[in-house]
Structure 1
Amino acid sequence: MDMESKVFKKSRLWAVGLLFVITGCTTKFLYSNLDWLLVEYIDDYVTLNDGQEDILSERILVLGQWHKENELPQYVKQLDAISNKDPKQVDSDYVLAQMDEVKAHTKRLVEQITPDLYALTQQMSDEQVKELIENFEEKNRDFVKKYEGMNDDEVREIYQERIEENFERWFGSVNDTQKLLAKEWASSMKVTGI
């Protein structure tokens, strides 16, 4: 095993260990404050009355319990598999497979949340619905403006820079192999919304 592989493996193990420590602390904080955090986030889009906030807080607590029991074990399983993967066997197909697994996690979460969001919208007044739509439109305009005039290759460069920044944050530096992986990953991403 060459020196670069040893350093990469040691960095990867350190990063995964740190991720578990951070995830453990963050998870405890997150689940303890999930109702407040999500109500504040939703409040950026629509002003809810006290009754709506109470119902939303209750549903969020139920969702949090479902998430802890059903989703977190799947995240841990995926992280374990990644941490046990030989770095020499990590290629763009492996990264894409991991991305597909993350998408599956997201899909299950969205499917769980959708009925509660629908019920919440049914309780909103016409003014609240108008406020919600206006705020969504404003966020969309901001997003479009951010990428306005860029072609797909320019957007993929931004994706690649973000991936490399994450590698650097996780591993301390970015080697040529990681840069190539970031480029392949960014190239495989579908550019939407511009």
Structure 2
Amino acid sequence: MSKLLPKWAGITLAIVLVGGCTTRLAYNNLDVWLNYRLSSYVTLSSSQESSFDQGVDRAHALHRRQEMPKIHSAIDRLQADLLSPMTFGQLQEYYTVFTRLGQDSAAILADPVADMFAQLDDSQVAQFEARLRQRFAEFDRERSKLSQSQQLAKRSERLQDFTQDWVGSLTSRQKELLTELASYQLEMSPIFRSLRNGYFERWQQLMKNRSQPSFKEQFTQLMRDMVALDSPQYQTEIRFYLNRRFELMRRLNHTMSPQQKAYLNRKLVNLRKDVALLINQ
């Protein structure tokens, strides 16, 4: 579940993480990408596939009209605030802003996905569940092959690559900070795995009642919870992790050189223009 649905729900977050024509290409071909992802989990009949395509098209149009202007506005505000060093409170606020945007996008995409799930027969549900279990096992098995130091190095490298895409070359101090962030993520791995399993169990229960009128509303809430990492059982741990991350990102932001700030500003300008073009297509 967490290897597929959050990716669907996270289209808003993807928009703010990529730039240039790649943004427009990915967004405009969302229906193709979703169908490709879905086909690796369950085999739909032609009527089910047609119904899903139509639902995605409606959701896509609604998202472009309703959510993309909000994303454009949020990026515009972020760009202005980045002119000065960011405070802890500002970082926390922008996390909340973009998480809510992601949740709202998830709610829109949940509509056709829930309709698709409601149309599945028991054998298709079993196929979907088996594929999810297989993906979970593959992910856990690959991770278990790495030592703690190897996992840390891998996470740190990914964070550095991502950050370089946005600010250019990194200093040794900035690389150290990103390694520290990677260590926070590694410490949280058991919690993240428990969250994944908890969301999966909720999905299993929902699928038993997929013919009920309340199914779509409950499924939408599940999608929103996954985007926000919401879980009453682990909320204290998640909040502690996020606060550590905000504080570290504040330190990282304060290390940025004028050249890095200019680099980031250009990226955000291009991204904002791309989102504007998507709104008006």
Counterpart position of 2:117: 121
C-alpha contact (below 8 Å) 1:92/1:185 kept by paired residues: no
Q: Which moved more, 1:184-193 or 1:127-136?
A: 184-193
**Aligned-CA RMSD value:** 3.0
Q: Which moved more, 1:41-50 or 1:174-183?
A: 174-183
Counterpart position of 1:105: 101
For residue 89 of structure 1, report the CA deviation from its aligned partner.
1.1
TM-score for both structures, normalised by structure 1? 0.72
For residue 54 of structure 1, report the CA deviation from its aligned partner.
0.7
**How many residues are treated as equivalent by the alignment?**
173
C-alpha contact (below 8 Å) 2:42/2:124 kept by paired residues: yes
Residues 100 and 143 from structure 1, CA distance in 2 versus in 1: closer, same or farther, beyond 3 angstroms? farther
Residues 142 and 107 from structure 1, CA distance in 2 versus in 1: closer, same or farther, beyond 3 angstroms? same
Counterpart position of 1:163: 159
Deviations 1:53-78 (A, max 9, x none): 11111111111111111222222222
Give, in whole Å, the separation in 2 of the partners of 1:96 and 1:155. 27
Deviations 1:110-164 (A, max 9, x none): 2223343222122112221111011111111122123227788875654433221
Stretches of structure 2 lacking an aligned partner (at least 5 in a row):
1-17, 195-281
Counterpart position of 2:9: none
Of 25, 45, 49, the match for 2:45: 49
Give, in whole Å, the separation in 2 of the partners of 1:47 and 1:80. 42
| Structural mapping, 1:1-194, within 5 Å | 22=20, 25-86=21-82, 89-90=85-86, 94-148=90-144, 158-176=154-172, 178-179=174-175, 181-183=177-179, 185-186=181-182, 189=185, 190-191=188-189, 192-193=192-193
C-alpha contact (below 8 Å) 2:55/2:111 kept by paired residues: no
C-alpha contact (below 8 Å) 2:52/2:115 kept by paired residues: no
Counterpart position of 2:255: none
Stretches of structure 1 lacking an aligned partner (at least 5 in a row):
1-18
Identify the structure with bigger relative contact order (alpha carbons < 8 Å, sequence gap 6+). Answer: 2
Q: Which moved more, 1:94-103 or 1:66-75?
A: 94-103
For residue 181 of structure 1, report the CA deviation from its aligned partner.
4.8
Give, in whole Å, the separation in 2 of the partners of 1:87 and 1:177. 21
Identical amino acids, percent of aligned pairs: 20
